[in-house]
């Protein structure tokens, strides 16, 4: 039974949601394994746009089961609101959306702490959704899991304990008693809503594997936001790389058969932190507007840069990516020339991979290679051979420089706007 992992190969926002959605038709289970509702996927299905934050985009296919794994942090309110949004739009989740009992829950005080730090001079550009403080509680072993949330006595005792631990910081925002009242305000309603979805998802996936079901595992964010391998400290609080799929879902490493990395034809980043190929000016504005480069979760304009091969090579290395999906190729149409960073220069030396040092990450100078641009509307192209010759050349040169094949090319948001170059890489 194949288990395919889809990872973001840049700083997130690469278009993973569309690719997961494209591949979901051939999957039996689609699994999110880390992050929270700080992530955002915009998916076009039957001509309609869906903005998803917690729930895997496989939910749009009636026969597919969707799992929110133990590696996530889950806001009960955000979970309920997303389920109800889908229900209102004709997508039912009951019976095929499964929430791990071991996932940790985000509570109002996590959001207060996140906002306090972002606005108090300690920020790194988070979405202020409480993700980081919730993961902090998890690591500090004072976290509250879904299984605890479903037990009123356990939950109340843990909340009281945690508010005492956080009292000094929280009291800068509002009285701790008022925060406690906010935590419990809708608790009974939310607990009852979550209960039918909650289960031991690791056991569920083990049974699925035993029944030879197809598993598709998806990351949130991207490899360069990985807590260990990203641009620390400007990273997320979990591990989006492929290794996180096992820890965040409860499947063993030998279950993973393939890893696909999703990269844009250029690079974007949201929030603070190093971004070696960042550009400003008319080209950046053109790409941002044509590509709709605004955050799904926050609406923030994304920072724009040329494709960064040293960064991409590093993501390929530490995620074990064996093939790439290139999205947003159509966005580069009418840009002449197109640049690609093939290496960095740092203190007189040439670097071909992304440095670990935070100082080096900020100070490297990109070495560019220019490629001929292409023109025209690519959104209707369905065969690689029908792309302009210079567009094909660009994709082929990225393959050469990255050292692995680009097996899928995306030229738009909808499922249909997908060019499959190697049918062996998909099961759809």
Residue 76, pLDDT above cutoff 70: yes
Residues 78 and 227 placed together within one structural domain of the fold:
yes
pLDDT one-digit tens code per residue, 44-73:
777 788 888 999 989 999 899 999 999 999
Task: Encode burial over 20-40: b for 16+ CB neighbours within 10 A, e otherwise.
Answer: bbbbbeebbbbbbbbbbbbbb
Whether residue 337 has a cis bond before it, omega within 30° of 0: yes
Q: Please tell me the distance from the alpha carbon of residue 94 to that of residue 82, in angstroms, as a whole number.
A: 13
Same-domain pairing of 301 and 391: yes
Residues 95 and 223 in one domain: yes
* The pLDDT of residue 428: 43
Does residue 288 share a domain with residue 368? yes
What DSSP designation does 326 have?
E
Which amino acids are annotated catalytic? 13, 41
Reply yes or no on whether the pLDDT at 262 is more than 50. Answer: yes
Segment 143-168 shows an average pLDDT of 97
Confidence of residue 297 (pLDDT cuts 50, 70, 90): low
Q: In the prediction, which pLDDT does 127 show?
A: 80
The structure's pTM equals 0.93
By residue range, what is the domain housing residue 35? Answer: 3-99+198-255
C-alpha 37/C-alpha 406 separation (Å) is 29
pLDDT at 222 over 90: yes
Q: Which pLDDT tens digit goes with each residue over 348-368?
A: 999 999 999 999 999 999 999
280 and 305 both lie in a single domain: yes
Same domain, 35 and 171: no
pLDDT in tens, 302-357: 999 999 999 999 999 999 999 999 999 999 999 999 999 999 999 999 999 999 99
Q: Beta strand pairing status for 41-45 and 48-52?
A: antiparallel
Which of 18-27, 81-90, 224-233 has the least mean pLDDT? 18-27
Residue 48 has a pLDDT of 80
**68 shares its domain with 87:** yes
Domain end residue (candidates: 218, 240, 255): 255
In the predicted model, is pLDDT for residue 83 greater than 80? yes
- The total domain count for the chain is 3
Please spell the DSSP secondary structure of 114-130, one letter per residue: HHHHHHTT------SSS
Of 214, 229, 255, which residue is a domain's last?
255
Q: Name the nearest CA neighbour of 38 among 216, 227, 179, 238.
A: 238
pLDDT, tens only, 104-141? 999 999 999 989 888 776 777 788 899 999 999 999 99
Q: Is-contact 245 219, C-beta < 8 A? A: yes
Query: What percent of the chain clears pLDDT 70, i.e. is strictly above it?
Result: 99
Task: Please give the Cα distance from 249 to 5 (Å, whole number).
Answer: 11
Whether 221 and 116 map to the same domain: the answer is no
Mean pLDDT of the chain: 94
Residue 424 above 80 pLDDT?
A: no
């Amino acid at each position: 039974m194949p288990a395919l992992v889809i990872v973001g190969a840049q700083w997130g926002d690469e278009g993973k949601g569309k690719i997961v959605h494209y591949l979901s038709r051939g999957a039996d289970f689609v699994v999110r394994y880390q992050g929270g509702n700080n992530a955002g996927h915009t998916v076009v299905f039957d001509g309609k746009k869906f903005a998803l934050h917690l729930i895997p985009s496989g939910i749009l296919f009636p026969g597919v089961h969707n799992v929110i794994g133990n590696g996530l942090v889950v806001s009960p309110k955000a979970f309920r609101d997303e389920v109800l949004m889908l229900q209102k739009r004709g997508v039912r989740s009951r019976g095929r959306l499964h929430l791990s009992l071991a996932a940790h829950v985000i509570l109002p005080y996590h959001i207060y702490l996140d906002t306090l730090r972002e606005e108090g001079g300690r920020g790194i550009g988070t979405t202020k959704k409480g993700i980081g403080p919730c993961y902090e509680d998890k690591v500090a072993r004072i976290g509250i899991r879904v299984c605890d949330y479903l037990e009123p006595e356990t939950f109340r005792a843990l909340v009281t304990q945690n508010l005492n631990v956080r009292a000094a910081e929280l009291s800068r925002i509002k009285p701790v008693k008022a925060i406690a009242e906010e935590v419990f305000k809708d608790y009974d309603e939310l607990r009852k809503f979550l209960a039918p979805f909650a289960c031991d998802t690791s056991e569920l996936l083990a049974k699925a594997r035993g029944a030879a079901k197809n598993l598709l595992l998806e990351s949130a964010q991207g490899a360069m936001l990985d807590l260990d391998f990203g641009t620390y400290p400007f990273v997320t609080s979990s591990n989006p790389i492929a290794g996180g799929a096992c820890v965040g879902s409860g499947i063993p490493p030998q279950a993973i058969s393939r890893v696909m990395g999703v990269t844009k034809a250029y690079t974007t980043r949201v929030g603070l932190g190093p971004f070696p190929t960042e550009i400003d000016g008319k080209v950046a504005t053109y790409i941002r507007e044509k590509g709709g480069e605004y955050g799904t979760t926050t609406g923030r304009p994304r920072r724009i840069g040329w494709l960064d091969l040293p960064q991409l090579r590093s993501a390929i290395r530490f995620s074990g990516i064996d093939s790439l999906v290139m999205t947003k190729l159509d966005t580069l149409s009418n840009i002449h020339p197109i640049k690609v960073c093939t290496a960095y220069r740092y203190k007189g030396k040439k670097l071909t991979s992304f440095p670990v040092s935070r100082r080096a990450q900020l100070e490297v100078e990109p070495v560019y290679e220019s490629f001929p641009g292409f023109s025209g509307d690519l959104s209707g192209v369905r065969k690689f051979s029908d792309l302009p010759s210079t567009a094909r050349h660009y994709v082929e040169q990225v393959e050469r420089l990255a050292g692995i094949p680009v097996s899928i090319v995306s030229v738009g948001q909808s499922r249909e706007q997908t060019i499959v170059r190697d049918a062996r890489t998909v099961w759809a």
